[in-house]
Structure 1
Amino acid sequence: MAGLGLGLLAGCAPLPEGAALVPPAPSQAEQQAQIAALTAALRGLSPGVSPAEAARAAHVAVTQPLAWAREWQVVDPPLAHNFKVVHGIREKGVCQDWADAMEIALTAERFRTLQLHRALANARNIQLEHATVIATARGQPMDQGIILDPWRIGQGRLYFGPVLQDDRYVWEAREAVRAWKRQWHAEALTPR
């Protein structure tokens, strides 16, 4: 939450010299290094993952969100940009938009050895709900996959890592959350 406080206070006072709310956009070399690291992580999911598919998925996941950030005019940290979207100042850029765009872009690649999963965190508590895409080897359970989250760091810079090692969010399949919400709503509307 310290980042949120810093983000809110930044509108009232200048930041210390050299401080930044959001890191600068990654250089081409940094993007290539991240693509290589993500390719290796995706290939590491299973010997059955095609090296070419892993490389294509990594390229899309690293580069496309940077283009969306420019298109959506995302220049703030994630929660500050969410505020702009909620209040009509910007059209897109909440986590759901990033997850939708990522799913569409990766689905268009028509992978045969990788499988995409939609996931939600914090859907059953009062914390801010978060959405993302998770990639697994085809047939693997979602919790064995790699998180592809272009919202978390900000401005389309991709966070990726193993689902089970995410110390910030506990992920659930989107369909499981939707089923729970349908049941919860039905029970809430049932007269007692």
Structure 2
Amino acid sequence: MKSFLASVMMLVAASLAGCATTPAATKNNVEELSLALQSMGPEVDPAEARRAAEIAYSYSAQLAEQYNVTTSPILHNTLVNTGVKERGVCVHYAEDMQARLNQENFRTLSMLRAIAEPKSDFRIDHSTAVIAAKGDDIYEGVVLDPWRYGGKLYWSATTEDPRYDWEPRMEVLRRKYARRMAKEAAAGS
């Protein structure tokens, strides 16, 4: 009964929030991201950087439409987690953005994934896609985060994101697994 009431309350809140529209990216937005990608190193092909920037912006908006995002990202997460909506949490955006950009088979750019563990008990993990020069790691790349603003692309150098402390996805997953195993071992003692 509690989950039913929670779902009804979430639907009411979503209805009251109204339909959100994702503003279209401007030429300046795309140009700024393209230049940031090019600045990752002289080996980055300017045409690839431009194409990646165009796709990152257009695909962010497309994902929000595909996920039927009509509320804030946090509220949308609740709708997904209660089964009202199918997709649209940060990990979905990260997976889909990475997959879409990987379809381009860039020669000078690579797609990576990062996770930021919460800084407080009131937050949850956040996942994102990172684009970097071929051979570089996430710390030399650029975060592509369409979830943060519900389909409007946020990007920054990974180490300059004021909101999240990003780490390579596999490092975080290994650490979480080790903590879980230690906890289970302690509970079994």
Q: With structure 2 as the length reference, what TM-score do the two structures score?
A: 0.84
Does residue 44 (structure 1) correspond to residue 39 (structure 2)? The answer is yes
Query: What's the CA shift string for 1:118-169, capped at 9, x where partnerless?
Result: 0000168632110001111112221111110000011x11000111111100
Gaps of 5+ in 1: 1-7
Q: Structure 2 matches for 1:68-79, cutoff 5 A?
A: 68-79=63-74
Q: For the residues of structure 2 that align with 1:125 and 1:184, how far apart are their CA atoms?
A: 17
Aligned to 1:95: 90
In the TM superposition, residue 73 of structure 1 has moved relative to its aligned partner by 0.7
Query: Please, what is the CA RMSD of the aligned residues?
Result: 2.4
What TM-score, normalized to structure 1? 0.83
1:52-71 paired onto structure 2 within 5 Å: 52-71=47-66
Aligned-pair identity (%): 33
Measured in 2, the distance between the counterparts of 1:124 and 1:186 equals 22
**Residue deviations 1:48-98, cap 9 Å, x none?**
100111111111110012112112111111001111111111111100110
Aligned residues: 175
Letter in 1 for 2:95: D
On the 8 A contact 1:121/1:170 being kept in 2, the answer is yes
3-state SS of the aligned residue for 1:150?
Answer: strand
Structure 2 residue runs without a partner (length 5+): 1-9
Q: How has the CA–CA distance of structure 1 residues 123 and 174 changed in structure 2, closer, same or farther, with 3 Å as cutoff?
A: farther
